[in-house]
Amino acid sequence: MALELVTIPCLTDNFAFLLHDADSGETALIDAPEAAPVLATLEARGWGLSQILLTHHHDDHIQAVPELVAATGAKVLGAAADQHRLPPLARALHEGDRIQIGAEQGEVIAVDGHTIGHIAFYFPISGLAFTADSLMAAGCGRLFEGSPAQMWHSLSKLMRLPPQTLICSGHDYLDGNLRFARALEPDNPALISRIEALAGMRREGRLPMPSTLAEELATNPFLRAALPQMKAAAGLPGAGEVQVFSEIRARKDRF
C-alpha cells in the first residue's frame, strides 16, 4: 500500500511533507521549516511523528527540528556529509542508504549543487521524490555551494526516475520559474498549458504541486539543457549540456 502524502505550506513559500503508513501508524516528516503547522496537522489527523528526514542544512528547512523533537520524540535523519551543519542526527545517511517507513523503503540520493551534502529521498512504491532545493517545480535551486557540473549531475540522476514520479520540492517559486521558462521557450505547448493550469489553481486556492517528473521534463528548462531547442534558446547550439545548463542558471539568477 502506498504511503499517504500530506503537503504542508510553511513560512511564506516553503513546504514540509508528511508521509504516513496506515498499517503501522508510522509518520515521517520531510524537512522542518516551521513547527506550528506541522504539529497542527499531526494533531488533526491523530498521528504521531516517528522520523524527521532533512534534505540540507539551510535554516528554512531545519529550524523547527528542536521544537518538533521536543514535542514528538521523533528521530532525526540527515546527510553524513552535512552532519556538521544539521541538528543532532540519530542516523547519518549516505547515497544508496535505505529508510523504512512502515512497509516501504525509501532511497537516499545525493544531489549536490544548491549545497554540498544536499540529499533527496525517493520512495518507489509510492512514486514520490522529495527533492527540496535541487529539482524544483519548473526550476532548480541556486548554486550556493556546488558547481553547474555538480547540479547537472544531480538533476540527471533525478531525470532517470520513472516519469510518473511525483516531485515534492521545497518551495513554491512556480510563477517566477514559469515566466523564466516561457522567456526561453515561448512556443512550448506543454509550458503554455502548465501556465494556464497554474492560473486556474491560483484562482481556486489549490496547491500547484507536487508535479510529475514527466511535467518537469516537458517544461523545466534546467532539465532540458541537452535538447537542441534549449541549446538554441541559450545561444549555444553546439555546446554540451553542462555549458548550456550553466548559461541558463546564470540567466535565471539575473531574471
Q: How far apart are CA 155 and CA 163, in angstroms?
A: 14
The helix/strand/coil state of 244 is helix
- Cα atoms in the Cβ-side hemisphere of radius 13 Å centred on 220: 25
Residue type, 215: E
Instruction: Report yes or no: 221 and 248 within 8 Å, Cβ to Cβ.
Output: yes
Q: How far apart are CA 253 and CA 144, in angstroms?
A: 11
Q: Does 171 show up as a binding residue in the annotation?
A: yes
Instruction: Report yes or no: 174 and 138 within 8 Å, Cβ to Cβ.
Output: yes
- Residue given cell 540567466 in the structure block: 251
The helix/strand/coil state of 201 is helix
Q: List, in sequence order, every residue forming a beta bridge with 121; answer none if it has no partner.
A: 108, 130
Label the pairing between strands 75-79 and 51-53.
parallel
Element (DSSP H or E) covering residue 212: strand 211-212
Q: Does 56 show up as a binding residue in the annotation?
A: yes
Q: What does each C-alpha distance from 84 to 81, 134, 167 come to in angstroms?
A: 8, 20, 27
Q: Does 133 show up as a binding residue in the annotation?
A: yes
Contacts of 126 (CB under 8 A, 6+ apart): 2, 3, 5, 19, 104
Written as nine digits, the cell of 194 is 502548465
- Annotation: binding site for Zn(2+): 56, 58, 60-61, 114, 133, 171
- Annotation: binding site: 56, 58, 60-61, 114, 133, 171
